Structure 1
Amino acid sequence: MRRPVRFLAVLLALLTWGLTLLGHGSALAVRAQNTGTGTELRGVWLTANDMPVLRDRQRMTEAVSQLATLQFNTLYPVVWNGAIAYYPSQVVQERQLQTFTYLGLQGQDVLGELIAEGKRQGLLVIPWFEFGFMAPKDSVLARRHPDWLTRKQDGGMTSISAAGEVAWLNPFRPEVQQLITDLVVEVVGRYGADGIQFDDHMSLPKDFGYDPFTLALYRKETGRAAPANPADGAWVKWRADKITAFMERLTKEVRRVRPGAVISVSPNYYAFAYKLQLQDWLAWVRRGLVDELLVQIYRPDLEDYLPHLGRAEVIEARAKIPTAIAIMSGQRNRPAPLPLLGEKVRANRSQGLGVAFFYFESLWNLGPESPEQRKAELGRWFAAPAPRRTAAAPSPQPAPPPPRRLPAPPPPLPSLPSASG
């Protein structure tokens, strides 16, 4: 009897959304005006899997042109993945955290050319700081600075993620915060990007924080030892508040360097993000630290997907800033059919929510339908243009002073092989 009940529940939800659309054809526009955006967020992530396209100048230009033709308005290209900068970063070179310069097949600066092409085609380009505080356990960064890594109560230093077994940089250490700040400022300042995006890895799994540095800091500030239970409410809040405080400082620095830059956040749904990842993104929204929100809801069916659209925190965010629900457009071993994607897009719109697809390659190349069919359907979904306003051009005034730096680190260790070696 389970399957008929599920079918009826999904059918009822779809009928409700359909009636909303028929009876309130202007609902999307009204809600967009209420957020002060006046447009619908239509984004796509450009991941490490998409680098064969991005690193080839002609293929990149064709891809951006195709997305512009299909009326997308925002690109989120990866710039920090696996403790590797996907652009010629002076920060990682100076700190000897990367032994190569990331360039395109024609020797070009991939990020610089993508930003320029996006601007030419009228799309916002908001680089995606994918790994956040996460780092592969065998990366140059993790090996060079093992004291920067945090621990579980049993001394374990890794967790299992979609990227495999990873370690976590301690978000409470000043040295870690300085590295993240320098990388982010480099992207938005040097490249003039339209903003920066953080996702569910700008966080810390709740089981971490039992390293000597964090335990001593907690005792100093609270007068108590850290609870043995990693889910203890006060212990969760203290760590989440620390991450929020860093996000506030980071946001101010980005806005100082690049006025008008979009601070974009793409977290998991709130209860999961806060309780399990110490990521209090609702506090970030309420404090004005976030300019747009894309909640990751990668559910394979409508029954599990639809309830997230009406969550109280999503409604609250939607009233303040451009808000979207992120959709999985497919994976190599799990293609997403067009009818399902279409139902999700329509459901988002009925609630005044934008949409972002994870990820570019699966938009039309990994689906059960042909690429031509999928492009044609995307064109029908986004037939009307939805231009977004780009960040203000850099001021012609003298460049602002560089961010305040911490005391110089100790002398570097001997050269290490690259993480990919």
Structure 2
Amino acid sequence: MRHGWTLVAGMAMTMALAQAQAEFRGFWVDGFNEGFHTPEQVDTLLQRVRAAQMNAIIVQMRKRGDAHYLSPLEPFATQQQAGFDALAYLIQKAHGETPRIEVHVWVNCHPIWPGSGWPNDPKHILNRYPEIQTEDYDGNRITEVGYGGDWGHPLYHEWFTKVVLDIVRRYDIDGIHFDYIRYTGERWGYNPVSVARFNRRYGRTGKPDPTDPLWKQWRRDQVSAVVRKIYAQATALKPRLVVSGALITWGDGPQTSDDWVNRSAYRAVFQDWQGWLKEGILDMAIPMVYYDESNPSRAAFFRNWATFLKDHQHGRIGVVGIGNYLNSIENTLKQVEFARAPSPAGNRANGVNFFSYAATTGVGTEEGSRRYDEAFYRALGDYFGAWVPTPPMAWKLAPTAGHLMGAVLDARTLTPVDGATVEVYREGSLVRTLTTDGNGFFAAVHLPAGVYALIARAEGLPARSLGTVWVTAGLGVNLPVLLGEAEAHIVRRIESLAALPDGAPVLLLNTVVAADWLQPDALLQVRNALGEATVAVRVDAPTLPLLQGDRAAVLGTLRKQSDGTGVIEQARVHWLGAL
């Protein structure tokens, strides 16, 4: 057997060395097995990664609503060495030594707890907000992957976005990588809040049938909305951040573009990753093309999906995810060869990623895989021959477009307007029509740099126009849009509060959280977006935790203090994103 893969590697290595070019080469490194639980595991991981001539690792920092890094929002992973910030140490070692290894943070999106037991930590989202769980048509809450958050519930949508943006803001990572960014099947997604939102939007009553086309599109839209929101906000924070996903390829691959809608990803679990590539809210697609090469029908599935990916990257990056855990070393290398070769149409993928670092070779199931097989890492190193950089992304290195985003809010109450329409115009022509999500958020990504006008509309509220909005190449603009007449004084600078009387209703539109606000009974401190002036806020309406640097709008009553300062009481706060 060894001679077989050595021969394949030897034949291919000459070509690889002669035609070395940028490509993505990585491992998925899960948090359930050894990999980064201690400094010693990290050192071993990176030694093997470099020996295998990889240039990236995708490390699972969130498994089931936990954190393998120091998170202010989610509980510390039980497998992790106490107090050890795996992500910080990984970045230090991966970036600081030669060759540089990219660090992409893998977050499990939908699963939040296994199907047995219940989390003990009060910090866990199931204890904070149990109402965010998904349900099936019959009201069951345990999916095939345990308890899961429902993308149709605005609270889970926002919580997950906060978790991701916290990582992006505090760590020098190269990318964010989504896993389980979907539902688990067409009978799931029946959280009562999501069903109620759907019925309000379309004038329905009762519970829609799982196969109802409009209800299926609703759930597809909820998943796409969180991808869009995180993409727009995260890349506004760090324009060169790569947003990627581990994507579904169940069954045989599509034969044509039109056949995509018949695949399970789109039809059954509502993961429209082809649509995400077209819209540009996913920089890098890594379909999980996990098939046993020794099974002829499964080997054909692998080739059909890899070919489809090569021909349908839509100007972004496609990387073939290889299930080495199912295959011998020789068969894994056969799949790598096919993944790197051009399609019949002449198109190439942009690299390979292996599942997994821990389960290196196998005979058909992950449980039966050989773990940490040094021969596997050596075989990859022999095959690739030399390190190469990851593929450049022109839309990040030399951008000509930017992102326009914001939140549509009721000016009287600061509540988000769900299902509002935002029309985007340039030089009098309509260029995009957007719909707000359950948190009032909207985004148009990759708009050519220039000046735009907006018109926001919602049932029961007067339309509002914004005449001059600048979009700058490579950056994002984020603005609140108020519908209706505000009954409070609109305050744009905190210093302006001094001129208002005690008891005045006030609406602060552009404030930044000055310090983490994690306890609802504590005073929230906010400051001007530009400047140091601060004011204390006593939050009355339920609000998710806020972190230093978050942008927020505040509506409340100004109460003057004896020392001349003010406190905003009985306040409602709307989170606008991260700064």
TM-score by length of 1: 0.76
Structure 2: how far apart are the matches of 1:39 and 1:156? 47
Deviation at 1:370, TM superposition (A): 9.4
One of 114, 119, 138 as aligned partner of 1:154: 138
Q: How does 1:159-238 map to 2 (within 5 A)?
A: 159-161=143-145, 166-225=146-205, 228-238=208-218
Q: Structure 1 pair 404/174, CA: closer, same or farther in 2 (3 Å)?
A: farther
**Residue deviations 1:64-85 (CA, integer Å, cap 9, x gap):** 1321232101101111112111
**Worse overlay, 75-84 or 38-47:** 38-47
How many residues get paired? 362
Q: Which residue of 2 aligns with 1:380?
A: 382
**Aligned AA for 2:190?**
Y
Aligned residues of 2:286 and 2:321 also touching (Cα < 8 A):
yes
**Worse overlay, 305-314 or 253-262:** 305-314
Matched, 1:49 2:44: no
Structure 1: how far apart are the matches of 2:380 and 2:312? 26
Matched, 1:361 2:352: no
Q: Which residue of 2 aligns with 1:110?
A: 86
Structure 1: how far apart are the matches of 2:314 and 2:334? 23
Aligned residues of 2:27 and 2:357 also touching (Cα < 8 A):
yes
Q: Structure 1 pair 404/208, CA: closer, same or farther in 2 (3 Å)?
A: farther
**Aligned AA for 2:108?**
E
One of 378, 395, 402 as aligned partner of 2:550: 402
Structure 2: how far apart are the matches of 1:277 and 1:403? 33
Structure 2: how far apart are the matches of 1:405 and 1:150? 29
Q: Which residue of 2 aligns with 1:12?
A: none
Aligned residues of 1:82 and 1:136 also touching (Cα < 8 A):
yes
Deviation at 1:256, TM superposition (A): 1.4
Structure 2: how far apart are the matches of 1:169 and 1:369? 31
Q: Which residue of 2 aligns with 1:15?
A: none
Unaligned runs of 5+ in 2: 1-7, 250-259, 343-347, 363-367, 398-474, 476-529, 532-547, 555-571, 575-579
Aligned residues of 2:291 and 2:299 also touching (Cα < 8 A):
yes
Q: How does 1:310-325 map to 2 (within 5 A)?
A: 310-311=304-305, 314-318=309-313, 320-325=315-320
Q: Which residue of 1 aligns with 2:104?
A: 126
Deviation at 1:202, TM superposition (A): 4.1
**Residue deviations 1:318-340 (CA, integer Å, cap 9, x gap):** 3522212212222xxxx631111
Helix, strand or coil for the counterpart of 1:160? coil
**Residue deviations 1:252-306 (CA, integer Å, cap 9, x gap):** 1101112210001111126111112111111111000111111012112353134
Q: Which residue of 1 aligns with 2:335?
A: 344
Deviation at 1:203, TM superposition (A): 3.7
Aligned residues of 1:329 and 1:359 also touching (Cα < 8 A):
yes
Structure 2: how far apart are the matches of 1:287 and 1:193? 23
Aligned residues of 2:360 and 2:372 also touching (Cα < 8 A):
no
Structure 2: how far apart are the matches of 1:107 and 1:135? 22
Helix, strand or coil for the counterpart of 2:140? coil
Q: Which has the larger Rg?
A: 2
Q: Structure 1 pair 117/152, CA: closer, same or farther in 2 (3 Å)?
A: same
Structure 2: how far apart are the matches of 1:147 and 1:370? 40
**Residue deviations 1:188-217 (CA, integer Å, cap 9, x gap):** 110121110002344453212323212211
**Residue deviations 1:194-250 (CA, integer Å, cap 9, x gap):** 110002344453212323212211111111246643122221112101221221111
Q: Which residue of 1 aligns with 2:577?
A: none
Q: Structure 1 pair 91/372, CA: closer, same or farther in 2 (3 Å)?
A: closer
**Aligned AA for 2:239?**
P
Aligned residues of 1:188 and 1:254 also touching (Cα < 8 A):
yes
Structure 2: how far apart are the matches of 1:297 and 1:277? 16
Aligned residues of 2:359 and 2:372 also touching (Cα < 8 A):
no
Matched, 1:295 2:277: no
One of 318, 321, 330 as aligned partner of 1:326: 321
Aligned residues of 1:57 and 1:104 also touching (Cα < 8 A):
no
Matched, 1:68 2:70: no
Q: Structure 1 pair 77/240, CA: closer, same or farther in 2 (3 Å)?
A: same
**Aligned AA for 2:105?**
P
Aligned residues of 2:359 and 2:371 also touching (Cα < 8 A):
no
- Please tell me the root mean square deviation across aligned C-alpha atoms, in Å: 3.5
Q: Structure 1 pair 272/403, CA: closer, same or farther in 2 (3 Å)?
A: farther
Deviation at 1:152, TM superposition (A): 1.4
Structure 2: how far apart are the matches of 1:245 and 1:201? 11
Q: Which residue of 1 aligns with 2:69?
A: 87
Structure 2: how far apart are the matches of 1:106 and 1:150? 32
Aligned residues of 1:273 and 1:279 also touching (Cα < 8 A):
yes
Aligned residues of 1:136 and 1:142 also touching (Cα < 8 A):
no
Structure 1: how far apart are the matches of 2:216 and 2:304? 26
Q: Structure 1 pair 372/221, CA: closer, same or farther in 2 (3 Å)?
A: closer
Deviation at 1:131, TM superposition (A): 4.1
**Worse overlay, 381-390 or 81-90:** 381-390
Matched, 1:255 2:235: yes
Aligned residues of 1:127 and 1:197 also touching (Cα < 8 A):
yes
Q: Structure 1 pair 372/171, CA: closer, same or farther in 2 (3 Å)?
A: closer
Q: Structure 1 pair 386/203, CA: closer, same or farther in 2 (3 Å)?
A: farther
**Aligned AA for 1:89?**
S
Structure 2: how far apart are the matches of 1:375 and 1:314? 26
TM-score by length of 2: 0.56
Structure 1: how far apart are the matches of 2:199 and 2:388? 51
Unaligned runs of 5+ in 1: 1-17, 33-37, 93-97, 410-421
Helix, strand or coil for the counterpart of 2:143? strand
Deviation at 1:134, TM superposition (A): 4.3
**Worse overlay, 281-290 or 217-226:** 217-226
Q: Structure 1 pair 211/106, CA: closer, same or farther in 2 (3 Å)?
A: closer
**Aligned AA for 2:333?**
G
Helix, strand or coil for the counterpart of 1:217? helix
Q: Structure 1 pair 313/199, CA: closer, same or farther in 2 (3 Å)?
A: farther
Q: Structure 1 pair 317/402, CA: closer, same or farther in 2 (3 Å)?
A: farther
User: Once superposed, which parts of structure 1, at least 4 consecutive aligned residues long, lie more than 6 Å away?
Assistant: 389-392
Identity %: 20
